[in-house]
Amino acid sequence: MNILQVWAPDARTVEVEVAEGRHPMAASSEDGWWSIHLQSVTHEVDYLFRLDRGDPLSDPRSLRQPFGIDGPSRTYDHSAFRWSDVSWRGVPLHGSIVYELHVGAFTHDGTFDAAIRKLPHLKDLGVDIVELMPVAAFPGHHGWGYDPVNLWAVHEPYGGPDGLKRLVDACHASGLAVLLDVVYNHVGPGSTLAAFGPYFTDAHSTPWGPAINLDQKNSNEVRAFLISNALSWLRDYHVDGLRLDAVDMLRDRRAIHFLEELAVEVQALAGQLRRELILIAESSANNSQMVAPREAGGYGLTAQWNNDFHHAVHVAITGEKHGRYCEFGSVAVLAKTLTRVFFHDGTWSAFRRRNHGRPVDVSRTPAYRFLGYLQNHDQIGNRAIGDRISAVASTELLKVGAGLMLTAPYTPMLFMGEEWGANTPWQYFTDHIDEKAGRTAAEGRRAEFSADGRGSVSVPDPQDQETFLGSKLDWSQLGQETHRELLSWYRGLITLRRSRPEFIDPRLDQVSIDYEEDEKWLVVRRGRLRIVVNLDSRIVRVPLDTAGTGILIASNNAIQINQDRITMPGESFAVIET
């Protein structure tokens, strides 16, 4: 705790500034590291660095930013926290259900401690893993968290590092694992990371500017910075896994890709901790190389998000065909994403105007390595007004969508409030301290949706505090009959999923589908179970390949079995035993 270190390979002098004054740091070697031993630096001491007698800067590896991103760093002792989860060994992703939430909007108070009070709801729902949107320190009081500035510090308004540890400890006590969303593809406005060294490179570009330097000169230290950060969340905060944001923007031409190196280090840590650790990639490349084992030439990550499945289900129950949805909508597309993972698996994409993706080897790749979802923070928040699917689909169709997700072969993921059909919007919100960054965020949103049919005027200002406040969940909705009805449906589906091994069978080549495009029905065959869906508003009689013997769950009481025919009212879903 008495030693402070910083990597600043281009600096001629480095000083640390504490309450009693400035102290010169010594260059410890030729690799750009500087260090100093100070008796006064103990637990909870504020400090700043000065490079070449310049402006004071927070520590790139700061563990606390109690006054925000522009304030001094504060030392923090990880060993001081008293954990109660010594027997915790984690939860395997296979067979689990993930629940994504934003700490600031999940509850009225928007803190880790307030989230703890809602854990009984999640346990009663039946989920296994809580996925937290980013909690690394970002500008202002509230935001989605995808503009991190201090990657090692926990956002103070949420409750700081001890608050996060209390939440993780409480989750483990409730039998819930915790995934943490991390952002390694860029940093947010106000970051001073570039002042310390070559953390960025112009050799590659991203939507945010120069890429993180993963493959150019001095990139060894940059990679170590990110990997050490990942390991710290897993080791020091007892987090059970990481969701890696937009990994396609991690530009890396090295023979061993950054993601593969990270997977190796996490696997080693899992062995040391004797605990299950998970890595999930967000990728739009439709490339299962992400999750293929290293010995098979892959990166060795645990799983990846599957947007094609989302798009297919979303369009099937809403009928929306604009933008990225233009190629989805048919029952055939839905059937393909239920059996082959990606719709675009090397096929032509009219939206991208090129071929996209590659096929998944369904005979070898387990289905649980792909997350399937009806909603998530991106798919709602990246709509012009952040309207949830409950705003555009009937309750009956919401039940159909939930049924498709929770009986699909993939790992299901819910977004907070989805389980009761929350109709509060989930809008993009920021609280940038820098006025230019705030204007850019607002103007960027309006420009992004300038061609939207609803017009740019309807796009909420992300800098307006009301945009944030309006995105908070309204838990009082659970007292309303329509919301209780949907919550009961979700609980029933999750209970059924738990009770039947067919639903968590990872073999994609054991999933087959019959469908009728004109009548808009499909039947998914999974072992002895038949998942029957009517997407049309009319009653249909759906043929089965064998006689049905019982209805395990149904969204409508009028669903009936007559030997090998199922009468399905409009917009209905059922699981049939054969």
Look up tokens 């769950």; give the residue: 553
With H, G, I as helix, E, B as strand and everything else as coil, classify residue 439. helix
DSSP 337: H
Q: Please, what sign has the CA dihedral across residues 414, 250, 213, 266? A: positive
With H, G, I as helix, E, B as strand and everything else as coil, classify residue 487. helix
With H, G, I as helix, E, B as strand and everything else as coil, classify residue 568. strand
Query: Would you call 327 a catalytic residue per the annotation?
Result: no
With H, G, I as helix, E, B as strand and everything else as coil, classify residue 355. strand
> Closest by alpha carbon to 286, among 353, 220, 345?
345
Strands 411-415, 209-212: parallel, antiparallel or unpaired by DSSP?
unpaired
Q: Which of 282, 461, 536, 571 is catalytic?
A: 282
* Cα–Cα distance for residue pair 23/112, rounded to 1 Å: 37
- Nearest 10 degrees: Cα torsion 83, 88, 92, 96: -70
Q: Which of 245, 418, 431, 571 is catalytic?
A: 245
> Closest by alpha carbon to 124, among 491, 389, 393, 492?
491
* Cα–Cα distance for residue pair 101/239, rounded to 1 Å: 15
CA 490 to chain centre: 20
Element (H, E) at 193: helix 193-196
Q: Please, what sign has the CA dihedral across residues 155, 156, 160, 166? A: negative
* Cα–Cα distance for residue pair 553/488, rounded to 1 Å: 12
The string of DSSP letters for 74-129 reads: E---GGGS--S-TT-----STT--EEEE-HHHHSSS-SHHHHHTTHHHHHHHT--E
What is the token pair recorded at 515?
A: 């469908």
363 touches 509 (CB < 8 A): yes
User: How open is the CA angle 320-325-326, to the nearest 5 degrees?
Assistant: 95
Query: Would you call 109 a catalytic residue per the annotation?
Result: no
Cross-strand pairs, 60: none
* Cα–Cα distance for residue pair 345/355, rounded to 1 Å: 9
| Residue 13 CB-density burial (10 A; 0-12 exposed, 13-18 middle, 19+ buried) | middle
> Closest by alpha carbon to 104, among 177, 154, 176?
154
552 phi, psi to nearest 5 deg: -85, -35
The string of DSSP letters for 3-62 reads: EEEEE-TT-S-EEEEETTEEEEPEE-STTSEEEEE-TT--TT-EEEEEETT-SEE--TT-
Residues annotated as catalytic (active site), given as ranges: 245, 282
